[in-house]
Structure formats: C-alpha cells, structure tokens
Amino acid sequence: MTDNTRELVSAAEALLRPPGGTAGALSPGTRARAAAMLLRLALDQRLDDFWLGVTPAMTRTAKHRMLCLEAYTDRGTARRWRLTWSALSGVCHHRVPELPPMPAEIQARLLEVNALLEELDGAAVATAAVVIPAPAPPAGRTTVLTATPAVPLAAGLRAGRPVPKPGPPPGQRAEPPVVGGP
C-alpha cells in the first residue's frame, strides 16, 4: 500500500470515528458519505499503482482495470474488489429521496478495503516475481521475420486511393433477405 493510499484510508477512518467534541460539526451521514468517497479513491489509486507495475497502458482505462484484475489475482479477490468498489460508488452518489449511509455500513467497507489493499499488495509481489523467458532459437538456425507494411486508411486517402464502400459491387443490386420458408 502506498503512502497516499494509507493517508486516504486513515482519513476515512478519522471521519468515521471523529475525536470527542467534533462530532457535531458534520452529520453522521455526511461523514459516512465522505469516508466512502475517500475509500473508493484509495481503491482507484491502488489499482492504478498495481497496473503501473504490470502494464502502464491499463491506467488509462476505467472499468477494464477491474475486469482484467482476475487474470493477475484470484477470482475471489477480483470479485470482491468489483463488489466493494460498486457499493462505495453507489454510496458516493447523492440522491435526494435516499437516506444517507450509516457509519457502521461504511466501517464494514473500511475493513473490506483494508483487506483488499493487503491482498493486492501480495498479488503485486507475486506478479513482479513471475518472469517468463523467451524461448531460445534452435542451435545453428536463424529466423528472419519479415512483415509487410500496412497502409493506414488516412494515408491511403491522402495518396488518392479509393476506399471501397461496403455492399455489393457497383452496378449490382443487393438481394433482399429471404423471409419465410420454401
């Protein structure tokens, strides 16, 4: 767990258990909702840190980060991560007819977030330790890989090449679909 993630979790814990004399400043529901926002942010930041260690391109996607987590951790951890994040996300959105969350509910989520962060730290160590070596070519053989360069669509348009349109060839009509049987 990074220092920033620890700070977010400890700030959420401080909101759920305010020191004496300061509990009247904010209502319990407001403190619980703010703590839920901090916990969800901690999950997001820890997931970004995890993907930076695996492949930095995954930090640019949103929901895919959680969906692909199952490939690097066990199925239960990935499922609990999605469920906890979704529950915290639902609490973070303020809806007028709903009651605010109870501090005890967010306290239970706090324990779950701490457990998930610790499990992801263990998965990050295990993922970093897995190194798959590239297969060595057979002795006395060399392989030359060649590839044909692909012409991007925009480059083809600039070069004046026509781009074929989908459908039947010019001069022919498309057959209507057959409806019914013989």
pTM metric for this prediction:
0.65
**Residue 69 near residue 78, CB atoms below 8 Å:** yes
Mean pLDDT, rounded, for 25-47: 90
Tokens representing 67 are 């969906």
Nearest of 38, 43, 51 to residue 113 by alpha carbon = 43
Cα-based angle 34, 100, 103 (whole degrees, multiple of 5): 60
Percent residues over pLDDT 90 in the chain: 26
Q: In this predicted model, what pLDDT tens digit does every residue of 126-146 receive, in sequence order?
A: 555 444 445 565 666 555 544
The predicted structure's pLDDT at residue 153 = 45
The predicted structure's pLDDT at residue 114 = 93
Other beta carbons within 10 angstroms of residue 124's beta carbon come to 19
Helix (H, G, I), strand (E, B) or coil at 181: coil
Query: Does 108 score more than 70 pLDDT?
Result: yes
